Amino acid sequence: MTMTVTVLGTAAPAPLPGRPCSGYLLRAGERSVWVDAGFGTLAALRAHADPAALDAVWISHLHADHCADLVAAFYALCYGGLEAAGPIPVYAPAGLAGRLAGFFGRPDTAFLKDTFAFHDLHEGHRVDLGGLVLTAHAVVHDVEAYALRARHGGRTLAYSGDSAPCPGLVAAARGADLLLCEADHDAPPAGQERAHLTPEEAAAAAAEAGAARLVLTHTGPSLTPEAAASRASAALGRPVAHAREDRTLRV
């Protein structure tokens, strides 16, 4: 009944050497889900799993550093020797198919249907993949965005995606065994719309939600992962880790 999450990439907003953008491999029992598909994460995914055997892809929002490697996945599945049994379900905010089609200069999306089956996320969207239950919680970002709550065998993983402080994030993380949470901002940007969290705000969300463990990810260029984790730990009053590429976390 084990649930694990393998870190494929954590960088923001662009990949770094050895550090792809946002991407994670969620495994529970016999099920596997690619959660976010940022730049460089397909290659990282292939080191751990066969993309053609995925049960689903889950995309938190449509910024390229969270979804652009679906273009690479399309090439791999169509021309790169990977053979899926059928279209891979992709759960994402509305419009993803059109964005992928635009990369190919196509006005229609029909050519994608044999590779990906797109499902538009909404608040409370629930998917049951044979006992691995995925639920979407709308969060505040500068585009439509969803945190993920994944439950299997009595264990719960919460993943923030990109989010400013908001009730939706706390709802997704309520009582979670592990909260994998972004900490993109060094400080709240003055006079700007909020779209991300500071390390202290990630800690506050974990405390309010009663999450058992907090692991930070998606730290922006003004923060090191180590500094972000140290600041969150001081705010939360207990150890906080940061996500590392190729590391597998047990939920």
Q: Is the pLDDT of residue 103 over 90?
A: yes
**pLDDT recorded at residue 189:** 86
Q: Is the pLDDT of residue 122 over 80?
A: yes
**pLDDT recorded at residue 191:** 82
Q: Which whole number is the average pLDDT over 203-226?
A: 97
Q: Is the pLDDT of residue 1 over 80?
A: no
Which tokens sit at 131? 């006992």
State how far Cα 175 lies from the chain centre: 19
Q: Is the pLDDT of residue 233 over 90?
A: yes
Instruction: Look at 58-62, 145-149, 188-192 and tell me which has the smallest mean pLDDT.
Output: 188-192
Which tokens sit at 77? 């599945």
Q: What is the spatial distance between Cα 125 and Cα 18, in angstroms, rounded to a whole number?
A: 34
Structure confidence by residue, pLDDT tens digits, 46-77: 999 999 999 999 999 999 999 999 999 999 99
Q: Cα dihedral angle (150, 156, 8, 98), rounded to 10 degrees?
A: 20
**pLDDT recorded at residue 55:** 98
Instruction: Look at 42-51, 52-61, 188-197, 198-207 and tell me which has the smallest mean pLDDT.
Output: 188-197
**pLDDT recorded at residue 38:** 98
* Residues facing residue 11 across a β-bridge: 21
Q: What is the pTM of this model?
A: 0.97
Q: What is the spatial distance between Cα 188 and Cα 174, in angstroms, rounded to a whole number?
A: 24
> CB neighbours of 45 closer than 8 A, spacing ≥ 6?
8, 23, 25, 34, 51
Residue of higher predicted confidence among 191 and 148? 148
Q: Give the model's confidence band at 27: pLDDT under 50 very low, under 70 low, under 90 confident, else very high.
A: very high
Residues of the chain with pLDDT > 90, as a percent, come to: 97
Q: State how far the alpha carbon of 44 is from the alpha carbons of 39, 96, 177, 247, in Å.
A: 10, 22, 25, 11
Q: What is the spatial distance between Cα 162 and Cα 13, in angstroms, rounded to a whole number?
A: 11
Please tell me the total number of residues recorded for the chain in this structure.
251
Q: Give the model's confidence band at 98: pLDDT under 50 very low, under 70 low, under 90 confident, else very high.
A: very high
> At 98, which helix (H) or strand (E)?
helix 96-103
**How many CB atoms sit inside 10 A of residue 17's CB?**
5
**pLDDT recorded at residue 192:** 85
